[in-house]
Amino acid sequence: DRYKTEVYFIVLDAIIMSISMRFDQSREILKDLCLLSPQRILKYSNGINKTLPEDAFNEIEDWLPGITINDLKNEYLTLSSSLKGLLDSCPSLPKQLHKNISKEQNECSESSTDGEGEENTSITSQQILKVLSNYNLSQTFPNLYLAYKGLLTIPASSASAERAFSKVKLIKTRLRSTIGQDRLESLMILSCERDININYEEAINMYAMSSDLLRDKLIFK
């Protein structure tokens, strides 16, 4: 009992207070970001009440510059009304694509999966952002596009930031103490984002087009 009162509960209270202090400041903006979840949009489109809360997206407007709250609400309403139709129009793929099955088995599998397409259909926030970007819908939904970009740039943990600090120690060594900020940022991007595939030919061509001298030296005719 003495251990619980003098050690355990004190440590537990300190942990709870630390977690509360860390997330209290971001709690309000997380409420706005929850409205952007595909599940919430689908639930909103199926509901009877089609009105958003009066203070919806207020924190996002303060967080992301360039967002107009009234336009964001209108774009949200438009997307919520068309997202369900977009999901219903996407046909579900068969479980086995290249395996030869008989006609009877195919008919049985189709009859057993009737009515399950809508339940199995799922979409993520990343897929919504890809649709807005790939189909040039960012001009139709500019505020919603910025909101989803901000949502998907929030890290789930601080591991990526801690990993970046570790990279700084490896890049900016004692022999590179006078390295400039721009060069350090470029080397950090190359080191931290090495898993991104880069088309070197395209990168060289873009760099060569920046001046006539580089164009003559780097682009072969």
Taking the alpha carbons of 39, 146, 51, 30 in that order, is the dihedral positive or negative? Answer: positive
Question: How many Å apart are CA 123 and CA 106, to the nearest integer?
Answer: 27
pTM of the model: 0.55
- What is the CA 199 to chain-centroid distance, rounded? 23
Question: How many Å apart are CA 182 and CA 188, to the nearest integer?
Answer: 10
Distances (CA, A) of 81 to 23, 42, 78, 177, 208: 33, 9, 5, 56, 46
Distances (CA, A) of 181 to 169, 172, 191: 14, 11, 15
Predicted pLDDT at 147: 92
Checking if the pLDDT of 44 tops 80, the result is no
Mean per-residue pLDDT for 135-156?
86
150, 127 in Cβ contact below 8 A? no
Checking if the pLDDT of 172 tops 70, the result is yes
Indicate the DSSP class of residue 6: I
Mean per-residue pLDDT for 41-47?
76
